[in-house]
């Protein structure tokens, strides 16, 4: 490939902070709140115009759709997201669980309030483009924005980009699932003008279960107990649309779940478009996926209008601000989680939180209907070789099955809170994040309302 040589330049240092969290999804938002509450001066950097990551930018609203009567759930900042959304009118009852779906639009404001209350320095509209690393120690990041290129220096950095962008660019080892096995990306969308009564009457007349997630060309592993449980699944309108010629046969992948319906007729978190073989660390793939996804979403809307009772007069309300990405880089961590850890109630001395036995991805669906749960190890957030850096959210270290569990938003908030507290404690005790006293971290997490055992 041809290259050019860029001129060297002086870059202004615009900000110093104790803890810099880059990326504000469930992982990063929880990390920043936890770090600030633990007494560290904290800055939260985000490339888009709102905090929340997939929750607000993509419209992934099913924060705890796994929760059943016997579920032993995570506590702490993740649970707070759900309670706060509910108390601020930013949620709707979730149809398949004992939970509320978080309203992705309204949560943009809830997140602002949480950031301000915690005393975090907010920085929106700045993209991290390069880590600053000296002698194996991360010192901060370079950002790009409408103001040009700037530097931010920090005592500790938390990579919550979802893609391990900082760890990867700093030279830490990361890996990706082979593209043919990657979880699909999705253009998410919501509709309005839905007749709620007609829509719900139709769901009740013809209820679906999780076994409907299987089709002639794909199957799903469950533990058996999931198969007969109700699922807000939409399949028939698209089968009819294919029969009528509205949707071409090769798009029999248009199918999936609806998330919530409001009294005002908003049908949101429509998870119906699945784009396989898309590597979201490649902007050409992203470009193609955004455009193809919107094309398919418009076909899905037309099919719902024609073939799903209650949707006759509905229309597109919004697409997610960006393509929904499930699966990119994971770090090679000091400890990489395993299938056994998430399937067999893994326990760890360095646990920073618990997460119910909920595994969803790579063709597996196991719901936490029995009270089983696993502990999340701190070491899965420690990349090898770069000091003062933690990686949190969905790119922590682990194998495929473990990622199908830890990628879920509540678990990202669990490990985010652990990363935030550990970063603060490591500054206060003047040690690297890899050497932090885990007893002190656990004590502080418990004070913050997390459940670690």
Ligand X SMILES: Cc1cc2nc3c(=O)[nH]c(=O)nc-3n(C[C@H](O)[C@H](O)[C@H](O)COP(=O)(O)OP(=O)(O)OC[C@H]3O[C@@H](n4cnc5c(N)ncnc54)[C@H](O)[C@@H]3O)c2cc1C
What is the binding site for ligand X (CB under 6 A)?
Answer: 22-28, 45-48, 53-54, 57-58, 60, 62, 65, 127-128, 160-162, 165, 186, 188, 271, 324-326, 393-394, 407-409, 412
Closer to ligand X at the Cβ: 27 or 346? 27
Strands 13-22 and 148-159: parallel
Rank residues 238 and 269 by Cβ distance to ligand X and give the closer one.
269
3-state SS record for 381-450: HCECCCECEEECHHHCCECHHHHHHHCCHHHHHHHHHHHHHHHHHHHHCCCCHHHCCHHHHHHHHHHCCC
Shorter beta-carbon distance to ligand X: residue 128 or 422: 128
| Cα→Cα distances 163→13, 175, 228, 261, Å | 25, 10, 35, 31
Nearest to ligand X of 161, 442 (CB atom): 161
- Least Å from the CB of residue 409 to ligand X: 4
Give the three-class secondary structure for 304.
helix
Q: How far is the CB of 148 from ligand X (least distance, A)?
A: 15
In the complex, what is the shortest distance from the CB of residue 130 to ligand X, in angstroms, rounded to a whole number?
A: 10
- Residue among 53 and 346 whose Cβ is closer to ligand X: 53
DSSP code at position 5? P
Whichever of 299 and 409 has its CB closer to ligand X, that residue is 409
Cα 81 from Cα 95, distance rounded (Å): 19
**364: helix, coil or strand?**
strand
- Least distance in Å: CB of 53 to ligand X? 2
Question: Kindly report the CA angle at 168 between 278 and 44, in degrees rounded to 5?
Answer: 95
CA–CA separation, 95 vs 101, rounded Å?
9
What is the Cα–Cα distance from 383 to 449, expressed in whole angstroms?
26
Closest CA to 368 of 356, 379, 378: 356
* Min dist. Cβ of residue 410 to ligand X (A): 6
Are the C-beta atoms of residues 346 and 331 closer than 8 Å to each other? no
Closest CA to 127 of 47, 60, 219: 47
Give the H or E element holding residue 73.
none
DSSP letter for 257, please.
E
Q: Is the CB of residue 293 less than 8 Å from the CB of residue 185?
A: yes
CB of 28 to ligand X, least distance (A): 5
Q: Which is nearer to ligand X, 365 or 441 (by Cβ)? A: 365
Among the listed residues 375, 364, 440, 435, the one whose alpha carbon sits nearest the alpha carbon of residue 404:
364
Q: Which residue lies nearer to ligand X by CB, 26 or 368?
A: 26
Q: Tell me which residue of 261, 241, 58, 21 sits closest to 152, measured CA to CA.
A: 21
Cβ proximity to ligand X, 122 vs 309, nearer residue: 122
Residue 310 backbone zone (phi > 0: left; psi -120 to 50: alpha; other: beta)? left
The nearest distance, CB 183 to ligand X, in angstroms, is: 8
Tell me whether residue 45 or residue 354 sits nearer to ligand X (CB atom): 45
Q: How far is the CB of 24 from ligand X (least distance, A)?
A: 5
Q: Please, which residues have CB within 8 angstroms of residue 359's CB and are 6 or more apart in sequence? A: 342, 343, 365, 366, 401, 404, 405
Closer to ligand X by CB, 125 or 315: give it: 125
């Amino acid at each position: 490939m041809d290259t050019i040589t860029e001129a060297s330049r002086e870059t202004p240092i615009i900000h110093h902070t104790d803890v810099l969290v880059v990326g504000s999804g469930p992982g990063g938002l929880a990390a920043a709140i936890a770090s600030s509450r633990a007494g560290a001066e904290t800055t939260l950097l985000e490339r888009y115009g709102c905090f929340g990551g997939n929750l607000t930018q993509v419209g992934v609203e099913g924060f705890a759709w796994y929760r059943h009567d016997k579920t032993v759930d995570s506590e702490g900042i993740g649970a707070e997201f759900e309670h706060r959304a509910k108390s601020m009118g930013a949620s709707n009852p979730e149809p398949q669980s004992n939970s509320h779906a978080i309203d992705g639009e309204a949560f943009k404001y809830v997140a602002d309030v949480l950031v301000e209350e915690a005393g975090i320095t907010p920085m929106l509209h700045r993209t991290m483009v390069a880590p600053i690393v000296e002698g194996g120690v991360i010192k901060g990041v370079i950002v790009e924005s409408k103001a040009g290129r700037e530097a931010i220096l920090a005592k500790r950095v938390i990579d919550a980009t979802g893609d391990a962008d900082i760890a990867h660019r700093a030279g830490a080892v990361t890996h990706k699932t082979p593209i043919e096995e990657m979880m699909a990306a999705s253009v998410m969308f919501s509709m309005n003008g839905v007749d709620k009564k007609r829509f719900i009457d139709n769901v009740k007349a013809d209820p679906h279960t999780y076994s409907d997630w299987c089709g002639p060309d794909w199957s799903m592993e469950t533990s058996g107990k999931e198969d007969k449980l109700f699922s807000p699944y939409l399949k028939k309108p698209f089968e009819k649309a294919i029969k009528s010629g509205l949707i071409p046969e090769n798009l029999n992948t248009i199918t999936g779940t609806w998330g919530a319906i409001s009294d005002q007729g908003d049908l949101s978190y429509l998870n119906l478009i699945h784009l396989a073989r898309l590597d979201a660390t490649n902007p050409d793939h992203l470009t193609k996926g955004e455009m193809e996804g919107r094309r398919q979403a418009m076909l899905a809307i037309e099919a719902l209008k024609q073939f799903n009772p209650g949707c006759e007069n509905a229309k597109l309300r919004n697409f997610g601000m960006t393509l929904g990405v499930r699966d990119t880089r994971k770090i090679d961590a000091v400890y990489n989680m395993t299938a056994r850890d998430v399937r067999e109630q893994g326990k760890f001395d360095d646990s920073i939180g618990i997460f119910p036995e909920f595994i969803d991805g790579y063709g597996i669906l196991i719901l936490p209907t029995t009270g089983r749960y696993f502990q999340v190890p701190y070491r899965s957030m420690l990349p090898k070789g770069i000091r003062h850096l933690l990686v949190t959210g969905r790119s922590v270290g682990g194998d495929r099955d473990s990622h199908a569990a830890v990628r879920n938003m509540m678990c990202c908030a669990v490990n985010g809170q652990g990363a935030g507290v550990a970063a603060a404690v490591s500054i206060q005790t003047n040690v690297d994040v890899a050497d932090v006293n885990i007893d002190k971290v656990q004590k502080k997490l418990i004070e913050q309302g997390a459940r670690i055992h």
